[in-house]
């Protein structure tokens, strides 16, 4: 079985790699390339993918600290 990975970048997009079925709200597959960078800032002109517009400007930083 192939491994899949979802990685939240610090102040950046979510990187999705591996065999993951990504579909839009109409059920259409939107998988394009691997790995995929999914926008987390809401500013991309190519949603749901990151187009790099947020680079260096995102203030949100998600970490798992305190959860485990
Ligand atoms: S996270 Fe990259 S454009 Fe939104």
| Alpha carbon of 16 to ligand 1 centroid (Å) | 14
pTM, entire model: 0.78
Beta carbons of 37 and 46 less than 8 angstroms apart: no
Best of 7, 14, 15, 52 for a ligand 1 pocket test (most atoms within 8 Å of beta carbon): 52
**Does residue 38's CB lie within 6 angstroms of at least one atom of ligand 1?**
no
The whole-angstrom separation of Cα 32 and Cα 21 is 10
Per-residue pLDDT at 36: 92
- pLDDT tens-digit series, residues 7-59: 988 888 999 998 888 888 899 998 767 899 999 888 899 989 999 987 777 77
The structural domains of the chain, with segments of one domain joined by +, span 1-68
The whole-angstrom separation of Cα 31 and Cα 29 is 6
**Ligand 1 atom at minimal distance to the Cα of residue 58:** 1
Per-residue pLDDT at 16: 92
The whole-angstrom separation of Cα 56 and Cα 66 is 25
Strand partners, 15: 7, 37
């Amino acid at each position: 079985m192939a491994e899949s990975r979802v990685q939240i970048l610090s102040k950046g997009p979510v990187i999705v790699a591996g065999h993951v079925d990504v579909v839009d709200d109409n059920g259409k597959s939107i998988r394009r390339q691997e790995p995929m960078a999914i926008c987390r800032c809401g500013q991309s002109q190519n949603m749901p993918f990151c187009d790099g517009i947020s680079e260096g400007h995102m203030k949100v930083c998600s970490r798992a600290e305190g959860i485990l």
